[in-house]
Chains A and B, each alone.
Chain A
Amino acid sequence: MSSILELALGIMTALGGFVDIGELVFAVEAGAKFGYGLLWVVVTGTIGIAIFGEMSGRIAAVLKKPSFEIVRDHFGFGRALGVLIASNIVNVLTCAAEIGGLAIILQLVFGANYSLMLAAAAGLLLVTVFVLPFRWIERVFGLFGLTLLVYAVAAVQLGPDWGEVARGLVPKLPEPDMPGLPIYAYYVVGLLSSILMPYEIYFYSSGAIEDKWTPKDLPINKLTAGVGFALGGLLTMALIVVGADVFLPLHIDPQRLSSVVLGAAVPLGHAGFLFALAGIFFAVGGAAVETALSAGYNAAQFFGIPWGKCHKPRAVPLFTLFWMVAILLGTGIAMSGANPIEVVEYSVIFAVVVLPFTYYPILRLADNRKVMGKHVNSPIIRVLGWGYFGLICLVAAAAIPLLVATHMGQR
């Protein structure tokens, strides 16, 4: 019974923790610009994150190796240091965007000054991560993040043409009255990257070690990565449907987090409004914690320093310092006046450039029968894994030129 409860909690946590500010912004905007036309990207990205999440969880359970130790072992100290710096720049940028998003939600609720809300958000995060054990961090943010399911209810309530929704699952070019191909490509890259964000893999594999997974936990890993991420993907699809049905007919470009809240209030009234505020608060707060902890995990794993939220902060002082610095740097960036939505767009696009360097060593190791033994990738996972790796490389090469050419999807 307890293992079923554990599994249900794991799946709900994966679902509740799936959506962050990047998905909220890109998915609703994508729906508002291209209708259901980008739903296929969510399916593609979700399968990818489930495959690589499962692989990293399997490696952690079998070899007790977290992602960044694998990166260091594969690339060697010098090159892996470059990957560490790039990954942690993306982590801090994402953390800055999430803290900014958290402050916006606090501001929408309390109506106070943005800088004050930023300080409150940072304080809240520092205290929460310092005080709560790993499992409770996962559960508090993951389970309360489920209030974001209000967007799934909103999507159904809006009564979309389900035939059209199904057609959105097949890739096709944008219609003539929609923005052109470069902007379409920018949103494909942005959505894919926001779903495949590398911090999710760092956090997932480090979490598996924090939770002391063994090969006995591999079925739970498979179900959590498969079902949890798939349900998270459905939630992202619901955000696209809300964007398509609320904002597209009115020709609104919902570029603000507060506009995303409006998307739930229109079909569901005041209850939808309140649930959306709560859902975004926990989803964005959870992602801020994950990115800050990921920065700490990466640095500690790379330098071989003791790490883990399962230890008291005094037992792992450098790890504690790393994640605290990540939160403080993120808050500093947000305080500098940077628009969190612009920051998240940069972090999502730059993250895709880091992706191949994170995913490649994981794929190689999970594919190595000598090391993984009977837990090596199955032939289907091997083919899918390499196929996705090729796709990720393609997307990584296109990301920055598209960002520049389309002026962040605006032209």
Chain B
Amino acid sequence: MKLIRTCLFLAIAATACACDSPKTLLELDDIQRAARDTASLAAESALLVEQIRQGRLGDNYVWVHQQALQEESRKAAQSLQKPARPDLRERQQLAVVLDARLALGLQQVAQGMADPAELQRLAKSFNDIETQANALKGGKK
């Protein structure tokens, strides 16, 4: 029982240490993490568009999956809604813009399913967002 109590205490202490304070500033690490998520979501969006072009997915799947990706993109943008140091503001803005572009592009995926030219444009846009997000996050995956 003593061992269980100790483990429980350590677990609670670790949880308390991991809690964020509302007074925290946006760090470079936060921007890189958001950029990593954006790059991953953009890559998955491009893959989704490619699969639609090849007629491999159902319509309902596309509607639901693009919404799930949009939701994730919103979460990535939300993690950037903190005050940033002056030297990080430019990066913060770029990360927010990339998330907004990604969400906008995803909104158009389901509507453009029957239009190959629109799908090609979206794929190019997603690849572009991924490249910029990768540059923002730095080398580490």
Which of A's residues lie within 8 Å of B, judged by CB?
104, 107-111, 177-179, 250-256, 258-259, 261-262, 265-266, 269-270, 272-273, 277, 397, 400-401, 404-405, 407, 410-411
Query: Could you list some 10 contacts between A and B, CB below 8 A?
Result: A109-B60, A109-B61, A111-B60, A250-B47, A251-B43, A251-B141, A259-B65, A262-B51, A404-B17, A410-B33
Residue numbers in B under 8 Å from A256 (CB-CB): 65, 68-69, 72
Number of residues from B at the complex interface, CB < 8 A: 33
A-B pairs, 7 with minimum CB distance: A111-B60, A258-B65, A400-B11, A253-B40, A404-B14, A252-B44, A404-B18
Counting chain A CB atoms within 10 Å of each CB, which of B10, B18, B61 scores highest? Answer: B61
Contacting pair B18 A262 (CB below 8 A):
no
- The prevalent SS among residues of A at the interface is helix
A246 CB, nearest partner CB in chain B, Å: 8
Which of B's residues lie within 8 Å of A, judged by CB?
7, 10-11, 14-15, 17-18, 33, 37, 39-40, 43-44, 47-48, 51, 54-61, 63-65, 68-69, 72, 134, 140-141
What is the bound-complex CA distance between A273 and B40, given in angstroms? 21
Residue numbers in B under 8 Å from A110 (CB-CB): 60
Contacting pair B56 A397 (CB below 8 A):
no
What is the bound-complex CA distance between A255 and B55, given in angstroms? 23
- Known A251-B40, A397-B7: A109·B58 in contact at CB below 8 Å: yes
What is the bound-complex CA distance between A253 and B34, given in angstroms? 13
A153 CB, nearest partner CB in chain B, Å: 15
A45 CB, nearest partner CB in chain B, Å: 22
Contacting pair B37 A253 (CB below 8 A):
yes
- Known A178-B141, A397-B7: A254·B65 in contact at CB below 8 Å: no
B50 CB, nearest partner CB in chain A, Å: 9
- Known A251-B39, A404-B15: A107·B64 in contact at CB below 8 Å: yes
Residue numbers in B under 8 Å from A111 (CB-CB): 59-60, 63-64
Residue numbers in B under 8 Å from A179 (CB-CB): 141
Residue numbers in A under 8 Å from B61 (CB-CB): 108-109, 258, 261, 273, 277
Query: Which partner residue on chain A sits nearest B29 by CB separation?
Result: A411
A85 CB, nearest partner CB in chain B, Å: 13
Contacting pair B58 A250 (CB below 8 A):
no
